[in-house]
Structure 1
C-alpha cells in the first residue's frame, strides 16, 4: 500500500502591511471623530487630543519649556499640534503592524492610548466628571471598529459572507473614516453654538465711568517708523499655555476670592459689569521677550479696580501672593503687596480697546497689573484668586525656575531701519520704542557704530505704565553700519548693556541693528 500523503497545514492568515496600516489609521480617525463629537456636549476641553496636549504642556521639563519659548515663540502650539498628530499616526500604524495575524496586540496599544486620554481628561480642572465620556466612548469606538474590520479582513472565506474582499474592507473602512469626519464636523458646529463667541457678542458695548485720557496727537511716530501707540486687538501679542483657547460663556463665569481673607467673595460677570467701570491705557510685556523682540503691546483696558475687590475681601496680614487660576488650570503668582497697592492700578479687566475682551485674550475676564511681566500679572480666563504664601503654593512658571518678583526691565528697541536693509547714504532716520512701565522713560539715546551717543526725540508721555516712541536722525556714510539704542528711565537708571536671557526674570541688553548705506 502506498503511504497516504497529508497536505501541509495551511499558513495562518496575515494581513498585508498596507491593509494593517489602513486598519490602524481608520481606528485612529474613529477615535478622534467620536471623541470630538461627544466633547461638543460635555465640554470641548474633554477631547482627548486637547487634553493630552495640555498635559504635555503642563508637565514638560523646564529645559524643554525654555527651548520652546525661545525657539518657537508663538508657533509653539502649532508645532505641538503637528507633533502630536504625527505621534498618533505613528501609534496607529504600529497598532496595525502588530496585528497582522490577530487584533489583540493592536487593541492593547489602542487601549493604552485610550487610558492616557482618560487620565488626561480626568486631571483637568475646567471640565466635570461627565467629560470622561468623551475619551471613554472614543476608545470604545476605536476598539470596536478595529476588531470588526480586522475580523472581516482575515475571514477565511470572503465570498461566504463571513468575510470581506479586500475591496470591501477598504470601502467599509473608508466609510467609517468618512462617518468619523462627519461626526467631528457636527461636534465642531455644536461646540460653536455654545462657544464664548456668541456670549461675547451678546455683552454689548462697555462704557467706562472713568475713561482713559485721550491720546495726544504726538503719542507715536507711525509716519517715521514706530508702531501705532494702541495695538489693534488682532495684533496684540499672545503668549499662554492654552493648547486650545478656552471657551467660557459670560453667563457661566464666576470669580472666587478666598484664602487668607476675612470674607470669601464670589462674583458673576453681571456683578462686575454693573459696577462703575474704569478704563486705563496699559502696556503689557512678556518675560520671554528677547532684546528687540515684539512680545509687547498696548491697549485700553476696561474693568474694575482690583484693589476695591480685595479691600472688600479683607486680605489678611501675612499673605504674600495672590495665586490666580485660569479656567484651563494655569496658575500665576502675583506679589500681594503689588496687587494691594492702590497706586498700581491693578484691574480685573473685561474689555479691551472699546469692546469686550477677545476670546483669545481672556474673555470673559482677565487680570491686568501694570509694571510686571505677564506671567505674574496678566492671567487670562481667570476664575480664582487665592491669597496665600510663597511656600504654600507655587505657580506654573515658578515651578519651572522663573522668578517670584518680575518687574518689567527698562528696555528699548529699534523698529526702523530693519536689520539687514539698505538705505541711502547721508542722513538716516531711526525710530523705535522704549518702555519702563510704572516708572516712565526719561530719555533715549542712539549711536552709530562706536560713535558718541545722541539723544533722540521722544513722543508725548501718555502715562508711566505705557511705552514711549522715539526717533532720531544720524549720519551714515556709504558702507555697513550698526545702530545701537539705550534708554534711561525716570528713576535715573540707564538700561544695562550686559546681556541676559529671559530666564529667570526677563532679558536685558542694548538692541542693535546693522544696515548698509549706499
Structure 2
C-alpha cells in the first residue's frame, strides 16, 4: 500500500504549522503582555540584520518593509511546514520534534527582548507547539483509514512510524481536515491580531480630550497653498502620512497606565502621568518632518500641525547637569534616538507631541506621546510611543548609530517635483511644473527649475508661511513636443543651495537634484 504522497504530506505540514502559529497568536492576543512569536522573530531580524541590508530594505521597500518582512516569515514558515510534513512520511516523531524546535526558536527570539515575561512567552510557545504537533498527528496518523476496496486489509503492511496509505474516500476526508485546520489557524491568527489591541487603541484615543494650546499655530496665509492639481497639499492627512519605524506591531499604550520619566544627568528626575502632561501648557506648531531614508524626490516627508508640551520647560524643571549634552528619547518598545540637548533648549517648537492635525496622535504615529523636533531627521529625534527622556553625554548612541548612520541628522535642503509626474505624457502648450521644497528651521527662499540644458529659471513660490514648513512652488512652462528632462533645486533661508552631488541615503540623508523625464505630445 502506498504511503501518503509527498504533496499530501506537504499540505499536512503546512496545516500543522498554520494551526500552531495561529493558536500561538490567539494566546498572545488573549493573555496580557504575552508576545507574538511571529513578530518576535521579525523584531529579532530587524535588530540583528547587518546595517547595509537594513538600509537597502528601507530604501527599496519604503513603507512596505514591515509587511514584506512578516510575509517573508510566513512564507518561510509554510515551506518549513511542508518539509516537516514530508519528513512525517518517514517519522512522525522527528517531524513533531521539528515543530517543537520551530516553536522554541520563536520563544528564544521573544526572550531576547527582556521586556517579554518568561512564563507567558513559554506558554505561547507550548500552545503553538502542542497544537501544531496535534494537527500533524491527526492528519498523518490519526485519521480513520481504509485500504482500497480491491486490496484486502490483511495485505496492508505499513512500516512502523510511517503513515498508512489513503483511499480515494480517505483523501477527500484528509483534504477537508487539512483545509479546515489551515483556515482555523489563519482565523485564530487574525483573531489574535485583533485582540492584541488595535481596536482597543481606537477607543483609548476617542476618550482623550485635547486641551486648548496656550499658543496656537498662526492662520494659514492666503496663497500658501497653490492648489494645483497633483501638487502635494500643504498638510498631509494623518491616514496618508508616511510611517517609518522599527515596530512590527504598533504598541498598545493605555494613557491611564502611561508615564514619562525624565531622568539621567539631571538634578531632579521626575515622572509625569498622561493626565499631568495634559495639564501642562501646550503649544501648536506646523512642522515638516522627514525620514533620513527618503530618496531624492521621495515621499518619506510630510507636514502636519502638531500640539504638545515644549521640551525646554520639562528640561528646566529637571535641572540639567554639566555634561548632559544629549537628549535620548526612549520608546515603550525599546527604541532610542538621541540629539543635542541644545537643540531641545533652543528650538521653541521642539515638543512632546500629543496631537497631530487636531486629533490625538494616531496609533501608528506614536499615541499617546512622541517627540517632534524641527530640523532633524526622525532617526535621531522622532521617538514614538515615548516612555522616557534621558539626559546623557554624547558618547551614548541611539538605535541607528551603531547600524551605520550618522550621529547627527540635520535635515538637508531638498526639493521635489510633483507635477508633472515622472515619465508623464503632457500636452504641448502652457503647463505647470510644480512641487515642494523644505529646509525646516531655515525656510525656503528660492526654487529654480532647469529644462533640458537650458538656464535655471526661478519658480513662483507660495506665500511665505513658516520656516519649519515646506513651501510649494510653480513654474509656468511652454511645453514643446518631444522628450524633456526637468531638474529643480532649492535655496534655503541661510543661503545654502541644494547640491547637485548625488549621495545615497546612508549615512546622513540623500542629496542631489530631483530630476524627471517627461514626454510632450
Query: Which residue is 1:455 aligned to?
Result: 458
Query: Which residue is 1:372 aligned to?
Result: 376
Following superposition, the deviation at residue 239 of structure 1 comes to 1.0
**Residues of 1 paired with 2:439 and 2:196: CA distance?**
42
Following superposition, the deviation at residue 404 of structure 1 comes to 0.7
Q: Does the Cα contact within 8 Å between 1:126 and 1:327 map onto a contact in 2?
A: no
1:79 partnered with 2:82: no
1:507 to 500, 505, 510: 510
- Measured at CA, do residues 180 and 507 of structure 1 come closer, stay the same or move farther in structure 2, by a change above 3 Å? closer
Following superposition, the deviation at residue 319 of structure 1 comes to 2.2
* 1:9-38 Cα deviation digits (max 9, x unpaired): xx9x94432332233122212212211211
Query: Which residue is 2:342 aligned to?
Result: 337
Q: Does the Cα contact within 8 Å between 2:448 and 2:456 map onto a contact in 1?
A: yes
- Measured at CA, do residues 186 and 431 of structure 1 come closer, stay the same or move farther in structure 2, by a change above 3 Å? closer
**Residues of 1 paired with 2:202 and 2:340: CA distance?**
33
Gaps of 5+ in 2: 155-162
Query: Which residue is 2:355 aligned to?
Result: 351
**126-135 or 196-205: bigger deviation:** 126-135
1:70 partnered with 2:59: yes
Output aligned runs, 1:70-219, within 5 Å.
70-124=59-113, 127-132=116-121, 133-152=123-142, 166-167=170-171, 169-192=174-197, 195-219=200-224
Following superposition, the deviation at residue 69 of structure 1 comes to 1.2
Q: Does the Cα contact within 8 Å between 2:3 and 2:165 map onto a contact in 1?
A: no
1:229 partnered with 2:234: yes
Q: Does the Cα contact within 8 Å between 2:20 and 2:132 map onto a contact in 1?
A: yes
TM normalised by structure 1 equals 0.90
* 1:401-433 Cα deviation digits (max 9, x unpaired): 100111001111211122222333344322111
Following superposition, the deviation at residue 358 of structure 1 comes to 0.7
Q: Does the Cα contact within 8 Å between 1:368 and 1:378 map onto a contact in 2?
A: yes
**Residues of 1 paired with 2:48 and 2:138: CA distance?**
36
Output aligned runs, 1:187-336, within 5 Å.
187-192=192-197, 195-223=200-228, 225-336=230-341
TM normalised by structure 2 equals 0.90
Q: Does the Cα contact within 8 Å between 1:196 and 1:250 map onto a contact in 2?
A: no
* 1:324-374 Cα deviation digits (max 9, x unpaired): 222222221222221232x34211001001100111111111100000011
**Residues of 2 paired with 1:325 and 1:423: CA distance?**
48
1:31 partnered with 2:20: yes
* 1:363-388 Cα deviation digits (max 9, x unpaired): 11110000001111111111122222
How many residues end up aligned between the 2 structures? 504
Following superposition, the deviation at residue 185 of structure 1 comes to 4.9
**347-356 or 103-112: bigger deviation:** 103-112
Following superposition, the deviation at residue 123 of structure 1 comes to 2.4
**Residues of 1 paired with 2:244 and 2:419: CA distance?**
25
**Residues of 1 paired with 2:348 and 2:495: CA distance?**
20
- Measured at CA, do residues 500 and 45 of structure 1 come closer, stay the same or move farther in structure 2, by a change above 3 Å? farther
Q: Does the Cα contact within 8 Å between 1:15 and 1:153 map onto a contact in 2?
A: no
